[in-house]
Structure 1
């Protein structure tokens, strides 16, 4: 990891030399000489981390640590230099991004700053010379020649692995275990509720196997309600119970008694599940201390309900924790299945990478592959995690390089072999990707993470290397795809643009990342701020699911990033979490009296002068100190606290700020000068007002949670200065804004996601010009069709997803949107249609694969013609009482040939009573695909069903990193 630290500093030195030439008058030569020395040192230290890890030379660890410390010192010097220059300029009241170069060359104070920089650079160069002398003195440079799996080859990988990033993660092998698990869940002669634990070594694929069974059609149809809960470590049992409650119980059926929250949840679950066959899967549970309190809230209703625990505990440990729980142990793959999994992961599901890897040996692949598979099995012993990670590494090589890589991994120590595979895969990463991977050490274990947020954090940290013609977001997506393809992280869900949306990391890789990050002084992860050496911490992630207040009075003078994930943030629907309410109920004399709650003053911030990233979620914050404006290095400011109502005007001095995330706060306004910061890329808010004017924000990519409130509608005009905007979400629109929006949309040609909420949305906005890149369109409010002529055509050629809510559309409008050529997902939600009869004709919706119809209370009959939605695969119906579905075609037709031939499932939500869906004429093929389930009644939960797979829905309450 020392090489990654040097790479990061070298990039900063390079950027400084190019962009700030006038600033470095008198010290530029010193910086260039220092950069040369570091480049040479980096060349010789490529294998140092690997040698240090294997303990080949007792001096190597010392050399790596000293080299890394020098790189950190260089970074400290540069940041202090820039901070003092910017601070002097800002203190004079001059906008730094306009005049600071001229002032830097003339101010005497800055001459003094450059003099101090030169002196400190001289000291660093002397220290580098001493380290170089020690290398020769102690004969440290005794490394083995680099193998193809070493980091030195990472920049010249034979095969580009990015195209393989979206390969599936289906289960290979375990046929008997899969059948046994399914038999247990479907056992017809066992009507009582029973519990099973799925046990096995970490890396055997327990969760993958369990998910495949859990999400199979037969299981979905068998159970009335299901919940999959990802359980993070160190979590309270009453919070697990709360997760189950939030996942299963409709909001309308929650109890309102004035007793404790835990009792309320217990009663709500008991009442709601009393007459339902339910399935609850708890993935990652390792503590059975209060297991009975969870089971006590899940009723014994004699319906054949099931509870399953997926755990790393051995079967004896799980049985000891609860002797009544039967266990199913997942072992390792045999040689045949191991080879099958290995080949699939190396060559791709359709062997699309086979020719590139085998090259000229394509005529004799079997000889080479048989030997490779035999060696692979000796190394991995059939552990699926080891197999896929090794496959991800070898996929980057030609087969001629495989022998050296496999030979390097030979060992008689099985646990050590897995660690070697992980280490070798990590060493093979380019330096920038190493930093990105190690960032996962600072995220909670066993959760799913939002890729967009990760990319924004990486950009703020400086991990992403700029590339001409690519935005930082595009580069970050490529980095994610590379890590996924190398099997270092796992793809959970793609976004609507075909990119990465949700990702996860295996607990074994997470532990490896934490160990490497700690060893390299890259990042510290703790559950509180009581650190042994706070003066040395450079990145800190605080993870605490049991407290909402952390006493952070310690100074962190060298800290670059602080990330916090606290209990309060783990709530839903704008309410504080269960654990927060329980604690508050016990601490306060009068429930609801917030005056006694402890709020964090963030006094540690001014002392952390080098901070680039501040991302605190769930911490109780009422006020942000004005001194934050002096922290000119801050690039990412995320403060999600429901008690926060105001930001200081000094944030306008954060001249390098890229991301402001104040979602789930009550902040309604920021100072107008904030909208002059040219580096702004993402503003994520709740109900934030727009200013009447703004600077030229050519870097702006995301604006969500905005509210138009100006009486004259002037708060739309600033959007014209954000011509590269990709994501826009704005509410509070009315007749004062539509004219300005017409002009704005002519300039926002890069828009890919657009949500408009307001009154009388004029349809002509989408007929007079082309939003040619728009892919997702959401309209919340009544649509005004009065100004649209019959002959007008819609000009939205690339819209793949359309969401309508409260639109009161008519049949003519439905016919029109059916002509959208690329539409694949259609959501008609909450009074989006105003007539009793809804017809899908043969002329439209030819490419729709997913259809959601929720809370269409006015619709009595829905007619589907033979070729109206020929490619639809999934239909979701919710809150449409007594809807009659008319299937036009031959009377009594029993097959779906020519009528939705690709249809796999019709999900019927919250309409469990008999006769809620009437199909005429009777069609057994259609009716067999109907799956009645019970989920929340809120339309926003239903409307997301087509763009989120089941795992997202099941795990969304177990973490908050899904948000933008």
Structure 2
């Protein structure tokens, strides 16, 4: 686990060595030795199992080493920052003329001589410290291991084996909510095509994948249906040959075969393949973690025509995707228990000896809510309570100490499995989530910027750091370690399960990744990390922390929000080495003091959601600033000094009061993300933008991949000609478009943009035609989100080619033909808005169509009279909004079959329509909530938030 401490500084050292080799001369040699020593120590701690105790916790030896290494890492960071401050600004200075060039070099040598000497001297001292640490490691018998090719280290492999032995199944007589998924799985096993198929059960740890698989595997009908059977537990520490031998023993337990003589892996694969070719077999591969495993094991499991089946359980969606090689292979997501089923399971375990205690129902529900529908966690907590007295004191005590109760049981160990399997870069990224309070919803772009600024994101060839950060988050999502909620089908907000969050906070503190300063610990707080998150009083924080070595400060505003200009002046004076300053959503911060310009090392500044109106001109002194977030703040204009931020890569101005960007923006050649809009509003969940004016010259920003929301010039196409130079764009939003001026020019360059993932086009008015039908062969086939706002002559044919489209919004289109006829074959559509988009009388959602759609908005469809929803359509719809469709009188009873529907919002509709809808759901057990809104001007509207049967 030393990689958590060392990886970020090793990355910065490598960057320094490659970039500054010629400049540093003697420093370069010492830094090379330093890097080598760090690599050796990192390998020693990774490869030696005796650094861990039998409980999977750090031994005293490892704790001492991590503490020492953390101190060394901080010293290395200090050296690198000192170099950046005093030496790097002069490196690469260029002047016209030989004499001036020579004079500048003499000046550089004079100015940087002492700092270079000091840096070289400190690196020498650090090397001596590392040599001592390495000797300390070796004195305890730590030696590097040879020939280890597994992704999991020996330390982690030993621990994984330990944890695996404590991963219990839920007792079958206590199962709830399993009948439906069990029948679904049995149908897939016993029916369907005769060709062999793979069924992957995917879900987070503790959700019941293995329990479901085992219950079906042991079913008498299933046993009788197949000729031979094998259940294989894979886990992280698998050995391929051992697993193949295990399959052989189970498959051939009653048969004699030449495979008994096989002593090679290839021999076992061939023998098993030959034997199973004529058999109807079932093999369960439980707890698969790595994609590489399937590529080996599948060779032994032939694709025959006997109705054979393979079941795989995994937390990793990437593993399931890898195993889905044919149209007959299936991915089945295992869902968490509903609140009612969770409570039922809880009662079975907590009151297993009978009896009902109505006075404990309130506490029981609160405890169950903490468990988020995970059967294993519910069982552990309820099992503990079954041994306690049945009184409110015991129940309340467990609720208040739920995280520590779980820490003593196996649940935390199961969650820790997921953590141990991560590569070092992802470990740091995950532990950084400790900076956010429990149950936070974190915007994905906020995370990306923070990870990059902290140095957690490793450079990859042909990818920007932002793109690499996106792959990190996708990996955490696929592994079911973090939960993801989508807005508009593509925008992500991240949440962490409560119990997982507790583990993250504990490990972040243990490995000194970051720490929390809060009201709970302000009197006993002792700084261990250079990254601090304030969850309490800023004043008390500034009184408590006097260490100028702090590098990252994150402030989470709450009821005691007291952040202001004065406190920031104090903060800037104390912490001059800050690299990350995250002040989002403070409602008491109105001014950013000019002293911000003294923060030479600052890489990220987030003022999103604050009341700040003006940026000081000193903002231009932040020469190392890479990310500036002012989204949804009160900022009205940017100073011209913004053009001095030559290292700026991300500028977020969404939802501000800025109407025009300064021409100085065009000097920011490293800019990759530029999103600006004013008066952004949410109207019942739908974003509305107003574009900002930009100046010609924007085409010089060749690294831009995100640009919006740009206001087109009403009388010329100059800005469009500039935009077409930006070949790396993946996100583009343009407003104020007119048919005559922009139509053909717009289509001409958009058609050729191969990397587009998000596209928004808005006409100058509701009645202006949006010309997009000239696009015939779009190159942007990976488009995921599309917004078209304006009149359309017809729905463009090219939309049907967008097989990866997830979100579609059509506004003011006034189409005469049913758009669903064209949209029904888009296989990945999850979000659909029709806002004044259709003038016809009927919309028909046909059986089997829109199978992935989760959110549907039908707004102001003036001629709309009949809504038909066939049974078997909209199977995953969760959120349905109908508003101001005054003529809508008839809704087919197919709406009752929307089994996943959670929220049905009705606004601006006749009372009779509302009564009819409520009548449809009156007798349904799992009816959605019907929200009747009376105010559509904002997202927070007066509503009747009542169940459908009330």
Q: TM-score, normalised by structure 1?
A: 0.61
> Which of residues 528, 533, 544 is equivalent to 1:525?
533
Show the counterpart of 1:436: 429
CA distance in 2, matches of 1:692, 1:153: 61
8 Å contact from structure 1 (residues 80, 610) kept in 2: no
SS in 2 for 1:680: coil
Distance 1:929 1:172 in 2: 10
Q: Which region of structure 1 is more displaced relative to structure 2, 601-610 or 860-869?
A: 860-869
Q: Does 1:564 align with 2:580?
A: no
Contact 2:904-2:930 at 8 Å conserved across structures: yes
Distance 1:872 1:611, change over 3 A: closer
Aligned equivalent of 2:125: 126
Paired with 1:465 and 1:176, the residues of 2 have a C-alpha distance of: 41
Distance change (3 Å), C-alpha of 1:937 and 1:776: farther
1:149-188 equivalence runs, <5 A? 150=155, 160=289, 164-165=315-316, 168=334, 170-171=336-337, 177-178=343-344
Quickly say closer, same or farther: Cα 1:923–1:505, change in 2 above 3 A. closer
| 1:75 paired to 2:83 | no
Task: Report the equivalent of 1:617.
Answer: 608
Q: Matches of 1:701 and 1:154 in 2, distance apart? A: 43
Deviations 1:668-704 (A, max 9, x none): 3333343343332222332343331125545433234
Q: Does 1:727 align with 2:713?
A: no
Instruction: Report the CA distance shift for 1:828/1:631 in structure 2 as closer, same or farther (over 3 A).
Output: closer
The Cα shift of 1:33 comes to 2.5
- Where does residue 509 of structure 1 map in the other structure? 503
Out of 809, 816, 819, the position equivalent to 1:811 is 816
Cα distance in 2 for residues equivalent to 1:104 and 1:198: 77
Show the counterpart of 1:775: 784
Matching of residue 741 in structure 1 with residue 746 in structure 2: yes
Which among 378, 386, 391 is matched to residue 414 of structure 2?
391
Matched, 1:752 2:752: no
Deviations 1:612-639 (A, max 9, x none): 1211334442332333323222212123
The match for 1:679 is 670
1:473-524 superposed Cα distances (whole Å, 9 cap, x missing partner): 443344335445666x431425777896432242423531553323651411
2:553 is equivalent to residue 540 of structure 1: yes
SS in 2 for 1:627: helix
| 1:282-361 matches, cutoff 5 A | 316=392
Equivalence for 1:858 = 862
| 1:828–1:153 distance in 2 versus 1, CA, 3 Å | same
- Residues 502-554 of structure 1 deviation map (CA, whole Å, 9 limit, x = unaligned): 32242423531553323651411223151422402111112231325331223
Deviations for 1:924-950, whole angstroms, at most 9, x for unmatched residues?
999999856125567798999xxxxx9
Q: Evaluate the alpha carbon distance shift between residue 502 and residue 924 of structure 1 in structure 2; reply closer, same or farther with a 3 A threshold.
A: closer
**Is the CA contact (8 Å cut-off) linking 2:610 and 2:632 kept in structure 1?**
yes
2:116 corresponds in structure 1 to 117
Shift in CA distance, 505/869, structure 1 to aligned 2, threshold 3 Å? closer
Matches within 5 A, 1:523-672: 523-526=531-534, 527=536, 528=538, 529-530=541-542, 531-546=544-559, 547-550=561-564, 551-552=567-568, 553-554=570-571, 555=573, 556-568=575-587, 599-640=590-631, 642-672=633-663
Structure 1 partner of 2:163: none
Q: Does 1:208 align with 2:372?
A: yes
Q: Secondary structure at the match of 2:556?
A: strand
Cα distance in 2 for residues equivalent to 1:144 and 1:457: 36
Question: 2:532, 2:882 → 1: CA distance?
Answer: 47
Query: Which residue of structure 2 aligns with residue 198 of structure 1?
Result: 363
State the shift of 1:328 in Å: 11
Shift of 1:609: 1.6
Are residues 456 and 521 of structure 1, via their aligned partners in 2, closer, same or farther at CA, if it must alter by over 3 Å? same
Query: Structure 1, residues 298-335: CA drift from partner, whole Å, max 9, x if none?
Result: xxxxxxxxxxxxxxxx9756999xxxxxx997999xxx
Instruction: Output the CA distance in 1 between the equivalents of 2:776 and 2:58.
Output: 69
Greater shift after overlay, 149-158 or 799-808?
149-158
SS state of the match for residue 819, structure 2? helix
Query: Is the 2:883–2:906 contact (alpha carbons within 8 Å) kept by the matching residues of 1?
Result: yes
Distance 1:925 1:768, change over 3 A: farther
Counterpart of 1:466 (choices 459, 467, 470) is 459
**C-alpha separation in 1, matches of 2:420 and 2:920:** 58
Which residue does the alignment assign to 1:414?
Answer: none
TM-score using structure 2 length:
0.62
Q: In the alignment, is the contact (CA less than 8 A) between 2:666 and 2:698 conserved in 1?
A: yes
**Distance 1:821-1:169 versus aligned 2 partners, 3 A rule:** closer
Which whole-Å CA distance do the structure 1 matches of 2:844 and 2:595 have between them? 60
CA distance in 1, matches of 2:658, 2:106: 38
Contact 1:30 1:118 in 2 (8 A): no
**Separation of aligned partners in 2, 1:7 and 1:478:** 18
Q: Is the 8 A contact 1:539 1:562 kept in 2?
A: yes
Q: 2: CA distance between counterparts of 1:201 and 1:919?
A: 34
Q: CA 1:4 to 1:730, structure 2 compared with 1: closer, same or farther past 3 Å?
A: same
Mapping of residues 888-899 of structure 1, within 5 Å = none
Within-5 A mapping of 1:3-82: 3-24=3-24, 27-46=27-46, 57=60, 64-82=66-84
Please tell me whether the aligned partners of residues 50 and 427 of structure 1 are also in contact (alpha carbons under 8 angstroms).
no
1:878 to 857, 860, 883: 883
Distance in 2 separating the partners of 1:908 and 1:457? 36
Aligned equivalents of 2:336, 2:71: Cα separation in 1: 44
Q: Give matches, 1:709-728, under 5 Å.
A: 712-728=716-732
Instruction: Describe how 1:233-272 pairs up with structure 2 within 5 A.
Output: none
Determine the C-alpha separation between the residues in 1 that align with 2:437 and 2:399.
26
User: Can you give the 5+ residue segments of structure 2 that lack an aligned partner in the other structure?
Assistant: 146-151, 161-235, 239-287, 292-313, 318-332, 349-358, 377-389, 516-526, 679-691, 946-950
SS in 2 for 1:715: helix
- Offset of 1:441 from its aligned partner? 2.2
Give the Å deviation of 1:210: 11
Alignment partners' CA distance in 1, 2:661 and 2:747: 26
Residues 348-368 of structure 1 show CA distances to partners (whole Å, capped at 9, x for unaligned) of xxxxxxxxxxxxxxxxxxxxx
- Cα 1:540–1:763, aligned 2, differ >3 Å: closer, same or farther? same
Structure 1 residue 175, shift from structure 2 partner: 5.2
Structure 2 Cα separation of the partners of residues 87 and 392 of structure 1? 45
Work out whether 1:909 is the aligned partner of 2:906. Answer: yes
Rounded to whole Å, the distance in 2 between the matches of 1:201 and 1:915 is 38
The CA deviation string for residues 254-285 of structure 1, in whole angstroms up to 9 with x for no partner, is: xxxxxxxxxxxxxxxxxxxxxxxxxxxxxxxx
- Answer whether contact 1:884 1:919 (CA < 8 A) is retained: no
Q: Is the contact between residue 51 and residue 155 of structure 2 (CA under 8 Å) also seen in structure 1? A: no
Comparing 692-701 with 430-439, greater Cα deviation is found at: 692-701
Name the CA distance, whole Å, in 2 between partners of 1:180 and 1:53: 29
Q: 2:563 aligns to what SS in structure 1?
A: coil
| Cα 1:805–1:137 shift into 2, 3 Å | closer
Pairwise mapping of residues 817-856 of structure 1 onto structure 2 (< 5 A)?
Answer: 817-818=822-823, 821-822=826-827, 824-825=829-830, 827-835=832-840, 837-840=841-844, 849-850=853-854, 852-856=856-860
The C-alpha deviation readout for 1:389-437, integer Å capped at 9, x for no partner, is 533555xxxxxxxxxxxxxxxxxxxxxxxxxxxxxx7566433223212
Distance 1:848 1:103 in 2: 67
> In structure 1, how many angstroms separate the alpha carbons of the residues matched to 2:631 and 2:836?
32
Asked if structure 2 preserves the Cα contact closer than 8 Å seen for 1:198 and 1:328, the reply is no
Rounded to whole Å, the distance in 2 between the matches of 1:426 and 1:872 is 31
TM-superposed CA distance for 1:129, in Å, is: 0.8
Does the 8 Å CA contact 1:541/1:563 hold for their aligned counterparts?
yes
SS at match of 2:606: strand
